[in-house]
Amino acid sequence: MRYVVGYQPDARGADAVALAVAIARAQGAELDLMLVLGEDAPYVAVNPDGKRVHAEEQQTLTAQREAFNLIPPDVTARFHVRHGHSFAATLIEAAVEFESALIVIGAASNGLFKRYTVGSVANALLHASPIPVALAPRGFQRTDPIERLTAFIGRREGADAAVEVALIAAGRRNVPLRFVSLVELDERGDGGENINAAHRHANTVLAEAAKRLPEGHEATVEVAHGRTLEEAVDSLDWLDGEIVIVGSSRLAQKNQLFLGSTANKVLRALPVPMVVVPRDYERAESHPLG
């Protein structure tokens, strides 16, 4: 199994590599680190030894050295350089070519610490990729294996793919699985019926999960509510080694991502990495976390 990692020699690139390593360790996956450069012709520069080299060559060698310094010995990684006008489109092309199970990127650099600010690359991927996308929050450094998976559940189209991925991943890796249903209260702070409905749906999902998970596997459900979705997310307890799985919007084309308004709100409040699964994703058996 291979993951494509959108790499840049900066903090955002380091966040992406750390997350990719953490997930790869759970699966024994290999990483393809992608440095995407513009299509302008390179120019000549002088390196510290006085040797004249193409600036692009120098940039590539420096980025490769810095990238491999972030890779532990137990993880296999390759470094690639591609040219293209669009960072996101180039990552998607590479992921399709390599038959990758996941694209991993870092959040925009101007976000709050351990919070997301979706930049242009992430936005393009989260609205077009046919492959699951993992997004590391700013400042993410943990490279130890995953401790728990949380799947956000709902009744809208797209949620089933996320549940499927979470079930297979948790079952194969014996990782605790938590299902979470979020409820946004009305202006009066009253959402009794919605909360009750969320509990009923969550318990139904848990009952179905119990039939498919190995005997004795830990699986739980929670219903979180607040005046906003962000407040509901903030009310949850999070482990350092947790990853959230969500499905893409019902507006997505089949087998593609589209991050709807609800997922966007959740994304901005999360303190942990998130994997977004395309609607009707058909490669669940070889999915990124299994």
For CA atoms 212, 256, 16, 76, the dihedral sign is: positive
d(CA 275, CA 245): 5
Cβ of 186: how many Cβ atoms within 10 Å? 10
Give the pairing type, strands 52-54 and 2-7. Answer: unpaired
142 part of a folded domain:
no
Place of tokens 């750390």: 18
Do residues 118 and 181 share a domain? no
Last residue of a domain, one of 108, 136, 164: 136
d(CA 51, CA 55): 11
Do residues 73 and 35 share a domain? yes
141 part of a folded domain:
no
Half-sphere exposure of 80 (CA within 13 A, CB side): 21
**Residues making up the chain, counted from first to last:** 290
* Number of separate domains in the chain: 2
What is the chain's pLDDT, residue by residue, as a tens digit (290 residues)?
Answer: 899 999 999 989 999 999 999 999 877 889 999 999 876 645 555 566 666 556 677 778 888 999 999 999 999 999 999 888 889 999 999 999 999 999 999 976 555 545 666 677 877 888 788 889 999 988 899 999 888 999 888 655 556 777 888 888 887 778 899 988 888 776 655 557 777 877 787 778 778 877 777 777 888 888 888 888 888 899 999 998 999 988 775 444 554 455 566 667 777 788 899 898 876 665 544 556 65
For the entire predicted model, the pTM comes to 0.83
Q: What is the pLDDT of residue 255?
A: 46
Rg for the chain (alpha carbons), in Å?
20
Q: What is the pLDDT of residue 31?
A: 97
Q: What is the pLDDT of residue 32?
A: 97
Please report, for the domain that includes residue 229, its CATH number.
3.40.50.620
Query: Which range marks the domain in which residue 79 is found?
Result: 2-136
**Amino acid at position 112, single letter:** L
Q: What is the pLDDT of residue 33?
A: 97
In 3D space, the residue among 229, 109, 147, 242 whose CA is nearest the CA of residue 181 turns out to be: 229
Q: What is the pLDDT of residue 237?
A: 94
Place of tokens 């409040």: 269
Query: Which stretches within 76-191 are classed as H helix?
Result: 87-97, 120-125, 159-173
